[in-house]
Chains A and B, each alone.
Chain A
Amino acid sequence: MKLNEKLTALALMLSLSPVSSAFAEEATLNSGDTAWMIVSTALVMMMTPAGLALFYGGMSRYKNLLNTFAMTFMSYCLASVIWVVIGYTLAFGPDIGGLIGGLDYTFLNNITVKSLSGTIPTYVYVLFQMTFAGITVALVLGSIVDRMKFSSWLLFTTLWIVFIYCPIAHWVWGGGWMAKMGALDFAGGNVVHINAGVAGLVLSLVLGKRIGYGKETMFPSSIALTGLGAALLWFGWFGFNAGSQLAADGLAGSAFLVTNTSAAMGAISWMFTEWYFTRKPTVLGIASGIVAGLVSITPAAGFVDLSAALVIGLVAGVLGFICVSKLKHKMGYDDSLDAFGVHGMCGLWGALATGIFANPAVNPNGVGLLYGNPKQLLIQIISIAATAAFTAVGTLIVISITRLATHGLRVEKDDEISGLDYSQHGERAFEIPSS
């Protein structure tokens, strides 16, 4: 660039970087970061109504396919509204006692078009975080497909986002006590996966098993849809992990690298594990392994290097397979689509792995066990335990309120047998002509 052009560019940049909200002292807007973060947000958004809806819908029984879609769609839609009204401020408002954010940003008050969070517009940051809230609550429904009343799900979602998701997001990312303690969670091992996994398990235990569970055949409606969903989730996860760097820089690139590697390793290791145990590698297994690998790398994405990613993905595939195919059947709970088995357990592995493999050469903010800091692992364990405990108890309370307000959580027996698409929505997923 010539000198003239450089001066003009500088003048433009200075005029575009005014006062921000509570975040930066002398922040300037970086258009590269902003462009990337807007794209990242869109990528993560897609993970819920497209990726997860297909992934879960394809695994639901045919008669409940649309209900799974409906619950997933509404999770995102409700999160979209709740977040900008009250959720953002509870999670990212000025810290109160390390536990919750203040109400300064209710209805996004005190935030304007010009506000900055770091080098990106605050509005973009708000939306980015919103997509995480949306997918977290959507993950919970994976445990309870085929049997929950739609009205109950809508109320549950609303309460859960406000009272369970927002506090934990605040603790880890909003400057709360876990952040102060030094817990490492780059993109949501605690906030998203352990949180949703445990909540799903609790909800599935309260709702009870599906009629005929363990006796009747319950075929997934379409492994093809599930495979497509897994691919969309993988694609979107680049925004989830690499976007959590909040900047278009080398660390985002590193997170991008380890995310893809872990996903691929997870798929390969789940496939071979399944091949060994059942003699046949299934597409459902490959798709599940992809997600297991992605879940595990999520808390570690901005802290670990390539060799760690290979190990994290490898273990995730094996662990995920054992949890969904052995542990669940041994323990007898009906976590229908394995929100706990895949998200909860692989999220747990990822959070621990972060404490083990965090490499200061990648990110100076994270030093793990293998680099001379055993304390990090202890911090991770505390954060995992606290998340699990809060979610378990909190979800139970939310469930109780929901049950009272909607006169019961579970559909009538006849409705469950005839299918929720018909009983809750009066619709069919596919019109397949007989010719």
Chain B
Amino acid sequence: MKKIEAIIKPFKLDDVKEALNDLGIQGMTISEVKGYGRQKGHKEIYRGAEYVVDFIPKIKIEVIVAASMVDQVIDKIRNSANSGKIGDGKIFVIPIEQVVRVRTGEKGVDAL
């Protein structure tokens, strides 16, 4: 099993969610994060005090999938989150040791 972590632009969340639903992935966790890469920050000026805001709001999506699905999921996310502009984000793949369903105690792929 693998965890796929995707940092995407917030306005793309609905598109990515639907794309993942199409693949049969019914669950995910999202968090509101901030970050930057090549997309530079912006300036805010309050009564002459100039502040450069480096960190830009993004959404992090985390899904756990069977190893066999990883490539499909990456493609789906890439296509739906892509706006063609700098700052579209990145996708990371992380190995997962164990998954457990809280309600029933099921383990492994059955718990996904």
Q: Let me know if B95 is at the binding interface, CB within 8 A.
A: no
A326 within 8 A of B: yes
| B45 closest partner in A (C-beta) | A278
CA of A288 to CA of B45, assembled, Å: 14
CB proximity to A under 8 Å, residues B3-36:
none
| In contact, B48 and A329 (Cβ under 8 angstroms) | yes
Which residues in window 270-298 of A have CB below 8 A to B?
A: 278, 280, 282, 284-285, 288
CB distance from B10 to the nearest CB of A (A): 15
Chain A residue contacts of B46, Cβ below 8 A? 219-220, 282, 284
Give the residues in chain B near A324, CB-CB below 8 Å: 47-48
B53:A285 contact, CB within 8 angstroms:
no
Contact A217 B53 (CB under 8 A): yes
A288 to chain B, nearest CB (A): 7
Q: Are B51 and A288 closer than 8 Å at their CB atoms?
A: no
Contacts of B47 in A (CB 8 A): 284-285, 288, 324-325, 338
> Nearest Cβ in chain A — how far from B17, in angstroms?
16
CB proximity of B103 to chain A, nearest CB, Å:
22
Asked if A217 and B48 make an inter-chain contact with CB atoms under 8 angstroms apart, the answer reads no
| A209 interface residue (CB < 8 Å to B) | no
B96 CB to closest chain A CB, in angstroms? 25
Asked if A282 and B53 make an inter-chain contact with CB atoms under 8 angstroms apart, the answer reads: no
Across the interface, which residues of B come within 8 angstroms of A328, CB to CB? 48
Q: Is the CB of B49 within 8 A of A218?
A: yes
Q: How many residues of A contact B (CB 8 A)?
A: 16
B-side contacts of A220, CB under 8 Å? 46
Return B47 CB to nearest CB of chain A, in Å.
Answer: 5
Cβ-defined contact, A325 with B53, below 8 A: no
Total cross-chain contacts (CB, 8 A): 25
**Distance in Å from the Cβ of A422 to the closest Cβ of chain B?**
23
Interface pair A326/B48, CB less than 8 Å apart:
yes
Q: Which of A195-233 contact B (CB under 8 A)?
A: 217-220
The residue in chain A whose Cβ has the minimal distance to the Cβ of B50 is A278
A338 and B49 CA atoms in complex are apart in Å by 12
Cα separation A284 to B53 with both chains bound (whole Å) = 18
A325: chain B residues at CB < 8 Å are: 47-48
In angstroms, how far is the closest chain B Cβ from the Cβ of A180?
Answer: 39
Complex Cα distance, B51 from A163, in Å, reads 40
Question: For A280, what are the chain B residues with a Cβ–Cβ distance below 8 Å?
Answer: 45
A207 to chain B, nearest CB (A): 18
Which of A219, A285, A338 contacts B51, CB < 8 Å? A219
**Per-residue A-contact encoding for B51-64, CB less than 8 Å = 1, 0 else:** 10100000000000
A282–B45 CB distance below 8 A: yes
Bound: A288/B49 CA distance, A: 14
- Which residues of A (311-369) have their CB < 8 Å from a CB of B? 324-326, 328-329, 338
List, in ascending order, chain B residues with CB within 8 A of A282's CB: 45-46
Output the nearest chain A residue to B47 by Cβ-Cβ distance.
A324
Which of chain A's residues has its CB closest to B54's CB? A217
Q: Which residues of B contact A326 (CB under 8 A)?
A: 48
For the complex, what is the distance from the CA of A280 to the CA of B45, rounded to whole Å?
9
Distance A218 CA – B47 CA, assembled complex (angstroms): 12
Give CA–CA (A219, B46) in the complex, Å.
8
Q: Report chain B residues within 8 Å CB of A278.
A: 45
* Min distance, Cβ A82 to any Cβ of chain B, angstroms: 32
CA distance A220 to B48 in the complex (A): 13
| Best-buried of B44, B46, B47, B53 by chain A (most CB within 10 Å) | B47
Per the bound structure, the CA–CA distance linking A329 and B47 in Å amounts to 10
Residues of A near B53 (CB, < 8 A) are 217
Please measure, in the bound complex, the distance between the C-alpha atom of A338 and the C-alpha atom of B45, giving whole angstroms: 15
Chain B neighbourhood of A219, CB < 8 A: 44, 46, 51
Output the least CB separation between B70 and chain A (Å).
Answer: 29
Q: How far, in whole Å, are A284 and B47 apart by their CA atoms in the complex?
A: 7
A217 neighbours in B (Cβ, 8 Å): 51, 53
Which one of B46, B51, B53 has the highest number of Cβ atoms from chain A below 10 Å of its Cβ? B46
In the docked arrangement, what's the CA distance between A378 and B80, Å? 72
| Contact partners of B49 in chain A: CB under 8 A | 218, 329
Which A residue sits closest to B51, measured CB to CB? Answer: A217
Chosen A-B contacts, 7 in total, with CB atoms closer than 8 Å, are A217-B53, A218-B51, A219-B46, A282-B46, A284-B47, A324-B47, A325-B47
B residues sitting closer than 8 Å to A (CB atoms) are 44-49, 51, 53
19 extra interface residue pairs, beta carbon distance < 8 Å, beyond A218-B51, A282-B46: A217-B51, A217-B53, A218-B49, A219-B44, A219-B46, A278-B45, A280-B45, A282-B45, A284-B46, A284-B47, A285-B47, A288-B47, A324-B47, A324-B48, A325-B48, A326-B48, A328-B48, A329-B49, A338-B47
| The 7 A-B residue pairs with the shortest CB-CB distance in the complex, in nearest-first order | A325-B48, A217-B51, A324-B47, A278-B45, A325-B47, A329-B48, A220-B46
